């Protein structure tokens, strides 16, 4: 069975119709030809965009000359009410300073330390879920949020503040389009940014709750009684160049993106992975067999048993990358595939298209986890696979996600069999991440 992708749109549409489609659903707005193009140009009255699917161009932008292609300010406009000046939206020296402080918290040795919190969240999810037909995206959002709060602040989702953040974020996620209208227009910095009232209210509420958590942790650190979790590690790490640490406001910015990236993207990935297992029972049986080899309360060393489950998660990320598009902006004149590109153009790198590119992948729309153990699969992984971006700006939590995803899949597949619901095939659309338009509905049968 081949998973669904958005219905292809005509290759040529009016600018106004394209902007309406793009704002409502960035995936369905893309014409079918982009799944086979190496590069495509799109013109608006105010700027030009270039989608680059050529692996050489992707390497140029992300790996070889990232300083010449900073993150586009147009894309960050819609997220500023929540993320402020977080590492997700900054560029240049400010971004480099933030990464110098954040990265040590996610080094390899720390994954072993955070593993028990991930495992406990997964075991809690398996115990909480019940048999019957249910919408699985909501449950995966709950589970992913539980992982973040346990690993970041050593509190479960049932904590009063954690629960409030989770509830507010669900409102934010559904009211915030992936692009704000300001992304399309040449609006001066001082002009209002067209954020929806409910979106702004949710962002303010979330930041207020995170401020309470961060201020409490700062007091605990000062009093010498803070738990050794990710928040403590980040808040006590000094910039090796300047000796400065994050102040409370900047830490709130970083926690907001940790929650967005660590919860929203994981929920998207897990929801689609469970759907793919449900529609491919033979794959699900193999995952369940691996999971059965784990002890009742798995230890970090047991992750090596989940080799096939890891490939399943990688394949799920290929077909449904949580962040479907990355946008950069060139700061000087460029020549890309013999086209002159003026400064200020939007350079679009699309995991959604690159991972399904007809000229790169064999059977690009097929769910085939075994491809990752083939030579062609390894070549494609090197040239055309970037669910966590790539280069210096690769997601700092990529290693975290590749422990969390296979572990949670295994714990859930050990507890339940997942079965598709006839007539409720999910249709992928892009909100903040790739989600299903009407949710992902599955039947759960306890094993």
> What pLDDT score was predicted for residue 227?
93
**Cα 312 from Cα 318, distance rounded (Å):** 10
> What pLDDT score was predicted for residue 19?
47
Q: Which residue has the higher pLDDT, 75 or 377?
A: 377
Across the chain, mean pLDDT equals 87
Using DSSP, state whether 347 is helix, strand or coil: strand
pLDDT, one tens digit per residue, over 230-269 is 999 999 999 999 999 998 888 999 988 888 777 889 999 9
**Cα 29 from Cα 15, distance rounded (Å):** 11
Q: Which residue has the higher pLDDT, 120 or 78?
A: 120
pLDDT, one tens digit per residue, over 124-155 is 999 999 999 999 998 999 999 999 999 999 99
Whether 3 shows a pLDDT value over 70: the answer reads: no
Average pLDDT over residues 215-233: 93
Can you give 379-423 as a three-state secondary structure string?
HHHHHHCCECECHHHCCCCHHHHHHHHHHHHHHHHHHEEEEECCC
Average pLDDT over residues 285-308: 96
> What pLDDT score was predicted for residue 182?
46
Q: Which residue has the higher pLDDT, 218 or 193?
A: 218
> What pLDDT score was predicted for residue 110?
81
Average pLDDT over residues 54-61: 97
* Res. 161 pLDDT band, cuts 50 70 90: confident
**Cα 254 from Cα 235, distance rounded (Å):** 10
Using DSSP, state whether 247 is helix, strand or coil: coil
Q: What percent of the chain has pLDDT over 70?
A: 87
Using DSSP, state whether 38 is helix, strand or coil: coil
Q: Which residue has the higher pLDDT, 25 or 430?
A: 430
Q: Which residues contact 9 (CB under 8 A, 6 or more apart)?
A: 21, 28, 29, 30, 31, 32
Instruction: Kindly calculate the radius of gyration of the chain based on its CA atoms and give it in whole angstroms.
Output: 21
Least confident stretch, 25-39, 115-129, 239-253:
25-39
Domain boundaries, the chain: 15-446
* Res. 122 pLDDT band, cuts 50 70 90: very high
pLDDT, one tens digit per residue, over 376-408 is 999 999 999 999 999 999 998 899 999 999 999
What is the pairing mode between strands 346-349 and 48-52? parallel
H-helix or E-strand spanning residue 340: strand 339-341
Spell out the long-range contacts of 214-219 with Cβ–Cβ below 8 A and sequence spacing 24 or more: 214/248, 214/251, 214/252, 214/255, 215/248, 217/153, 218/248
> What pLDDT score was predicted for residue 27?
65
> What pLDDT score was predicted for residue 77?
67
> What pLDDT score was predicted for residue 15?
46
By the 8 A CB rule, do 98 and 255 touch?
A: no
> What pLDDT score was predicted for residue 2?
57
Using DSSP, state whether 349 is helix, strand or coil: strand
Q: What is the DSSP letter of 358?
A: T
Q: What is the DSSP letter of 301?
A: G
> What pLDDT score was predicted for residue 256?
86
> What pLDDT score was predicted for residue 23?
45
Q: Which residues contact 355 (CB under 8 A, 6 or more apart)?
A: 318, 319, 321, 361, 364, 384, 385, 387
**Cα 321 from Cα 433, distance rounded (Å):** 8
By the 8 A CB rule, do 53 and 352 touch?
A: no
> What pLDDT score was predicted for residue 89?
86
> What pLDDT score was predicted for residue 9?
44
Using DSSP, state whether 436 is helix, strand or coil: strand
Average pLDDT over residues 175-190: 48
> What pLDDT score was predicted for residue 191?
42
- Supply 273's token pair: 């992975």
Least confident stretch, 165-174, 256-265, 283-292, 405-414:
165-174
* Res. 443 pLDDT band, cuts 50 70 90: very high
> What pLDDT score was predicted for residue 42?
83
Measured between alpha carbons, how far is residue 124 from residues 141, 142, 290 in Å? Answer: 13, 11, 20
- Supply 121's token pair: 């969240």
pTM of the model as a whole: 0.89
Q: How far is CA 353 from the centre of its chain?
A: 16
DSSP 114-174: HHHHHHHHHHHHHHH--SEEEEHHHHHHHHHHHHHHHHHHS--TTSHHHHHHHHHHHHHHH
Whether 51 shows a pLDDT value over 60: the answer reads: yes
CATH second-level architecture of 15-446?
A: Orthogonal Bundle (1.10)
Spell out the long-range contacts of 65-69 with Cβ–Cβ below 8 A and sequence spacing 24 or more: 66/391, 66/392, 66/393, 67/92, 68/330, 68/331, 68/332, 68/334, 69/328, 69/329, 69/330, 69/331, 69/347
Whether 40 shows a pLDDT value over 60: the answer reads: yes
**Cα 445 from Cα 108, distance rounded (Å):** 36
Whether 25 shows a pLDDT value over 90: the answer reads: no
Least confident stretch, 122-126, 161-165, 360-364:
161-165
> What pLDDT score was predicted for residue 4?
54
> What pLDDT score was predicted for residue 188?
45
What is the pairing mode between strands 339-341 and 334-336? antiparallel
> What pLDDT score was predicted for residue 137?
92
Measured between alpha carbons, how far is residue 278 from residues 125, 270, 361 in Å? Answer: 18, 12, 23
């Amino acid at each position: 069975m081949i998973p669904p992708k958005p219905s292809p749109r005509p290759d040529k549409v009016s600018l106004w119709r394209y902007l309406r489609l793009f704002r409502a659903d960035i995936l369905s707005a893309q014409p079918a030809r982009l799944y086979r193009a190496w590069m495509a140009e799109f013109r608006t009255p105010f700027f030009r965009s270039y989608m680059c699917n050529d692996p050489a161009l992707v390497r140029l932008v992300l790996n070889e000359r990232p300083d010449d292609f900073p993150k586009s300010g147009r894309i960050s406009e819609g997220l500023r009410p929540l993320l402020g000046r977080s590492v997700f939206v900054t560029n240049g020296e400010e971004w480099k300073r933030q990464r110098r402080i954040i990265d040590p918290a996610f080094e390899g040795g720390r994954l072993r330390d955070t593993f028990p919190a991930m495992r406990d969240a997964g075991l809690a999810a398996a115990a909480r879920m019940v048999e019957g037909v249910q919408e699985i995206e909501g449950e995966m959002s709950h589970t992913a949020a539980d992982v973040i709060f346990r690993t970041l602040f050593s509190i479960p989702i049932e904590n009063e503040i954690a629960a409030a953040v989770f509830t507010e974020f669900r409102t934010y996620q559904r009211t915030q389009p992936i692009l704000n209208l300001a992304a399309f227009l040449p609006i001066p910095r001082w002009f209002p940014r067209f954020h929806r009232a409910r979106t702004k209210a949710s962002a303010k509420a979330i930041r207020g709750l995170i401020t309470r958590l961060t201020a409490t942790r700062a007091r605990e650190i000062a009093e010498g009684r803070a738990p050794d979790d990710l928040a403590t590690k980040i808040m006590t790490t000094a910039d090796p160049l300047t000796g400065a640490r994050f102040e409370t406001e900047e830490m709130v910015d970083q926690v907001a993106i940790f929650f967005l990236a660590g919860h929203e993207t994981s929920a998207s990935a897990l929801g689609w992975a469970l759907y793919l297992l449900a529609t491919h029972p033979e794959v699900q049986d193999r995952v369940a067999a691996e999971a059965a080899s784990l002890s009742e309360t798995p230890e970090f060393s047991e992750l090596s048993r989940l080799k096939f489950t890891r490939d399943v998660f990688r394949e799920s990320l290929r077909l449904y990358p949580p962040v479907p598009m990355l946008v950069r902006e060139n700061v000087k004149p460029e020549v890309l595939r013999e086209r002159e590109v003026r400064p200020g153009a939007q350079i679009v790198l699309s995991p959604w298209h690159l991972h399904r590119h007809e000229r790169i992948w064999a059977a690009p729309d097929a769910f085939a986890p075994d491809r990752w153990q083939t030579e062609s699969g390894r070549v494609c992984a090197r040239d055309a696979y970037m669910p966590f971006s790539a280069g210096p700006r690769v997601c700092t939590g990529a290693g975290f996600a590749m422990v969390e995803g296979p572990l949670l899949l295994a714990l859930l597949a050990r507890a339940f069999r997942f079965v598709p619901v006839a007539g409720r095939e999910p249709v992928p659309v892009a909100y903040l991440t790739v989600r299903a338009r009407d949710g992902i509905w599955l039947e759960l049968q306890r094993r």
